[in-house]
Structure 1
């Protein structure tokens, strides 16, 4: 299961970057009346009114939504869930991408889009509302980091299942059984 945002970016790192801890930002946002605001409005407020870097503003916003608005770990601001898993696969970038995409296609059918000339090429799949993106980063000596992102999942249970499935696909491909 995904971790709460506080487990991913501790208060010490947040304080170093923004001058405040999670709890202090919580107090600032409650005082500003952000309890009923949407994600975008909270993040924009942090940037515009408090000079918070956009990346940190996103984390502060997610933490606030999880504590105050009931947003669950892995849940997007639109209420759906998203899982992302990465593993290093032996081989060159496009070969590793194609290997993983072939395994994804067994479950999701033919890809709906390919962006193969990007620095990080992607292959996209769609099944109903669910979106799957397979990407491959620039290779390193140890191999190519390939990710599977499964988005627009309806429930936390679907998220857990998607994460387990994606992990299995990547482990199989990493072990050369793709």
Structure 2
């Protein structure tokens, strides 16, 4: 798993990839490097990964994205937590013993009137719902965007996830992770 001096690939990511795809991480690296992936953008690298996924693999697009990201980290094209556009993101989640509507309602009751998070004003709050998930989304002035998503795990449990995108540096990721985790523990 050692590679370029920029290598920050997480071993757990590559191990899961190897189990799912039946291809060693070294074989993946060879595949990408033989196609000049070090000089490609994320969409092209993900397409390369998808083209080499086993036909029997469930959710090959998801695995292709993860494989592409792991290669980009290996090649020094991005670091963990960094998006393909260069900004940083953080995600945290907690399973709650309620349905998705109750999970999102708990968030709204506790934090829905919060005017700022870590001194960044909340604006443009909106809610939406799909067949699979319910969302509350908002912007933080000077600190990106936040999505609170409630996804049912079963009839009695819901995963409440906070996805925060648009962070300016890797140094902000752990601070925001701790902050969002602390809020989730209050629910």
Q: TM-score, normalised on structure 1?
A: 0.81
Instruction: List runs of 5+ in structure 1 lacking aligned partners.
Output: 174-178
Match of 2:132 among 116, 119, 128: 119
Give the equivalent residue in structure 1 for 2:47. 44
Alignment of 1:128-147 (within 5 A): 128=141, 130-138=144-152, 140=154, 143-147=157-161
Post-superposition Cα deviations, 1:76-130, rounded to whole Å, max 9, x if no partner, equal: 1111111111112343422321222442652253553211454310010112351
Per the alignment, residue 57 of structure 1 pairs with 64
Quote the residue 2:76 is aligned against.
Answer: 69
TM-score (normalizing by structure 2):
0.77
CA distance 1:168–1:137, shift in 2 (3 Å): same
User: Can you list the C-alpha shifts for 1:119-170, whole angstroms capped at 9, x where unaligned?
Assistant: 3100101123511001112264664321111111111121111111110000
Say if 1:171 and 1:114 are closer, same or farther in 2 by CA, change over 3 A: same
Q: What residue number does 2:3 align with?
A: none
Would you say the 8 A contact 1:83–1:150 is kept in 2? yes
Indicate how the Cα distance of structure 1 residues 8 and 15 shifts in structure 2: closer, same or farther if over 3 A, else same: closer
The structure richer in strand per residue is 2
Query: Per the alignment, in what secondary structure is the counterpart of residue 115 of structure 1?
Result: strand
Mapped contact 2:93–2:160 kept (Cα < 8 A): yes
Show the counterpart of 2:172.
158
Q: Structure 1 residues 122, 160: closer, same or farther in 2, change over 3 A? A: same
Q: What pairs with 1:87-98 in structure 2 (closer than 5 Å)? A: 87-98=94-105
Q: How far did residue 69 of structure 1 move?
A: 2.6
CA RMSD of the aligned region, Å? 2.4
Aligned to 1:109: 122
User: How far is the alpha carbon of 1:61 from its aligned partner?
Assistant: 1.0
- Name the structure 2 match of 1:176: none
Hey, what's the Cα distance between the residues in 2 that align with 1:127 and 1:151? 10
